[in-house]
Amino acid sequence: MTQSHDRLLIIDFGSQVTQLIARRLRELNVYCEIHPYQNVTQAFLNNFQPKAVILSGGPASVLDVDAPRPPSWIFSHGIPVLGICYGQQVMMEMLGGKVERGHGTAEFGRAYVVPGQNTLPLLEGWFLTDREQVWMSHGDHVSEIAPGFEVYGTSPNAPFAITADVDRSFYAVQFHPEVHHTPNGKRLYENFVRLAGFKGDWTMGAYREEAVEKIRNQVGDGKVICALSGGVDSSVAAVLIHEAIGDQLTCVFVDHGLMRKNEAEEVAGMFREHYNLPLIHADESELFLGKLDGVSDPETKRKIIGGLFIDVFEKHAKEIGGADFLAQGTLYPDVIESVSFSGGPSVTIKSHHNVGGLPERMNMQLVEPLRELFKDEVRALGRELGLPDHFIGRHPFPGPGLAIRCPGEITRAKLDILREADAVYIDQIRKHGLYDEIWQAFVAILPVRTVGVMGDGRTYDYACALRAVTSVDGMTADYYPFTHEFLGETATRIINEVPGINRVTYDITSKPPGTIEWE
């Protein structure tokens, strides 16, 4: 599908912010992919045919034995190359310049670059004042630039902050233009892709047409089944696939009884009525809640729900006479293998439940039409497909649902209380116009009851915790700084409107050390 677009290749050397380079480029309607340097072989390049290359930053030193390097092919095929931080250093070293270890010249954080003598098209519109703020993060530095290069910008500790060999269209910067703290960084990328001749044809309209075509080619007259969770990703995938192959698609919405207030009906109703999508609404709440009865350990809860989900989904797939393909809303960040320098497997904090084990077990091929998209691109595609805004902007909701917002044993009574309290809380957030500023907000019902006094009587009811966080990707998060007024008003409403709760607390833990969900 993407072959018809000009393609930019980002060679990843393991920087923490490589994904941001891709983000900036996608914002400029340029199609790009990130690949770890080890995978960029000659065969890969022959197939990928990049129109330009960006070399990312990374933690290695070019002075180390076995320092990671890009293939020299990229410097001999007349394509523009931009090196960033480590990418700059490795480029200089490979093209005949020199790199030295830090020794007092390391630079981390904010720095200011001033322009050199000559103008450079890459910097058009970039220096808004006589110096421009950038973000540096380097130990080694270039001590001698390669033949053919000239200096176009310097900072106190990086005399070669911006260099270029204009004739060969090679550009190299020591700082990170992709990060927020290089405020005018996007302009550099904009200039780079313009100089490289990109047409900026990566739009959602074009993506939609090509994706439909690709799905038709892949599926032929086969049958596709899709697990609809009510989340944005699986919903957008389902609507797109339905546009491509109509009733060859069947969606299964497994209601595990752990959805929020009215959620199951809303999701099923929207897809059935608005999109006329063949949908099995599997109400399996008895099964799930039965198996969760008496279980309080978080990991056990997750395993039970994940396992049951697969069983139930398989059962319904059989009912429709089997399927050849399984549709999933996998996104690009799930696909990118970033380079691991530490090597070791990371610790499992929580076993995430999605449809992970399904494809192997059911022997189906995958249809993953969102594999090349970031989350906000999926939202843009959803809008393009006519999904309502309030649906597209919904906060993420975890696969195990309310089970992990009910620490300790799950009972129907507690779930009912939780659903009501959550609905009031979200209503408050929407009424105050805060919903879109918050990554995720929810109530957790605590496994303690506390004493209160209401009217003139004693109460002995549950306590709950409100959670609201800001985040970019769910990996790190900070609590949302509600005003005391908002918190007070919300607590009063919950206690007045939700029987069963007599105490409300606000969770002010960031992630880390906390996680977003309570379990």
Let me know: does 187 contact 125? Beta carbons within 8 Å. yes
**Min separation Cβ 406 and ligand XMP, Å:** 14
| DSSP track, 324-353 | SEEE----HHHH--PPPSS-SPPP-SS---
Q: CB 437 → ligand XMP: shortest distance, Å?
A: 16
Rounded CA separation 103/114 (Å): 23
Shortest Å, Cβ 515 to ligand XMP: 3
159 binds ligand XMP (CB under 6 A): no
Q: Residue 494 CB, nearest distance to ligand XMP (Å)?
A: 21
H or E stretch at 121: none
Tell me the C-alpha distance between 288 and 264, whole Å: 15
Q: Which residues, numbered 378-397, are part of the site for ligand XMP (CB under 6 A)?
A: 396
Amino acid in position 459: T
Instruction: Show Cβ contacts of residue 140 under 8 Å, excluding neighbours closer than 6 positions.
Output: 61, 62, 63, 89, 99, 100, 101, 102
68 versus 399: smaller Cβ distance to ligand XMP: 399
Cβ nearer to ligand XMP, comparing 452 with 474: 474
Distance of alpha carbon 288 from alpha carbon 401, whole angstroms: 12
Q: How far is the CB of 442 from ligand XMP (least distance, A)?
A: 8
Question: Which of 303, 449 has the CB closer to ligand XMP?
Answer: 303
Ranges within 497-516 binding ligand XMP (CB under 6 A): 511, 515-516
Query: Which positions from 343 to 362 touch ligand XMP by CB under 6 A, shown as an x/- string?
Result: -------x-xxx--------
Q: How far is the CB of 70 from ligand XMP (least distance, A)?
A: 34
Q: In this structure, are residues 283 and 315 in contact, taking their beta carbons and an 8 Å threshold?
A: no
- Of residues 264, 262, 291, the one with CA closest to residue 427: 262
- For the CB of residue 213, give the shortest distance to ligand XMP in the complex, in Å: 29
Which lies closer to ligand XMP via its Cβ, residue 37 or residue 397?
397
Rounded to 10 degrees, what is the CA torsion of 130, 132, 133, 137? -120
Q: Which of 97, 185, 399, 401 binds ligand XMP (CB under 6 A)?
A: 399
Using an 8 Å Cβ cutoff, are 505 and 466 in contact?
yes
Tokens standing for 45? 């390049």
**In sequence order, what are the residues at sequence separation of 6 or more whose Cβ sits closer than 8 angstroms to the Cβ of residue 96?**
146, 147
Smallest separation, CB 409 to ligand XMP (Å):
19
What's the min distance (Å) between Cβ of 479 and ligand XMP? Answer: 12
Question: What part of residues 467-486 is at the interface with ligand XMP (CB under 6 A)?
Answer: 474
Q: Which is nearer to ligand XMP, 143 or 470 (CB)?
A: 470
How many residues at the interface with ligand XMP, by CB under 6 A? 14
Rounded Cα gap, residues 305 and 149, in angstroms? 59
**Alpha carbon distances (Å) from 21 to 11, 57, 124, 482:** 11, 10, 19, 32
Q: Residue 495: which residues within 8 A CB-CB, separation 6 or more? A: 454, 501, 502, 503, 504
If the CB atoms of residues 28 and 289 are measured against ligand XMP, the closer one turns out to be: 289
Residue from 398, 402, 441, 465 binding ligand XMP (CB under 6 A): 398
Q: Give residue for tokens 């996104």.
A: 331
> According to the 3-state scheme, what is the secondary structure of 476-513?
CEEECCCCHHHHHHHHHHHHHHCCCEEEEEECCCCECC
Nearest CA-CA partner of 238 in 96, 131, 391: 391
Structure tokens at 126: 């970039």
Question: Beta strand 31-36 with 52-55: parallel, antiparallel or unpaired?
Answer: unpaired
Q: Which is nearer to ligand XMP, 350 or 449 (CB)?
A: 350
Report yes or no: 38 and 58 within 8 Å, Cβ to Cβ: no
Could you tell me the two tokens for 40? 């960029």
Output 377 or 517, the one with its CB closest to ligand XMP.
Answer: 517
Of 1-9, 287-295, 310-318, 398-406, which segment contacts ligand XMP by CB under 6 A? Answer: 398-406
Question: Amino acid letter at 172?
Answer: A
The residues annotated as belonging to the active site are 85, 176, 178
State the first-to-last Cα distance of the chain, in angstroms, to the nearest integer. Answer: 40
Binder of ligand XMP out of 182, 235, 440, 502 (CB under 6 A): 440
Considering beta carbons, is residue 115 or 398 the nearer one to ligand XMP? 398
Q: Nearest approach, Cβ of 328 to ligand XMP (angstroms)? A: 12
Q: Which is nearer to ligand XMP, 176 or 301 (CB)?
A: 301
Q: Which residues bind ligand XMP (CB under 6 A)?
A: 350, 352-354, 396, 398-400, 440, 474, 511, 515-517
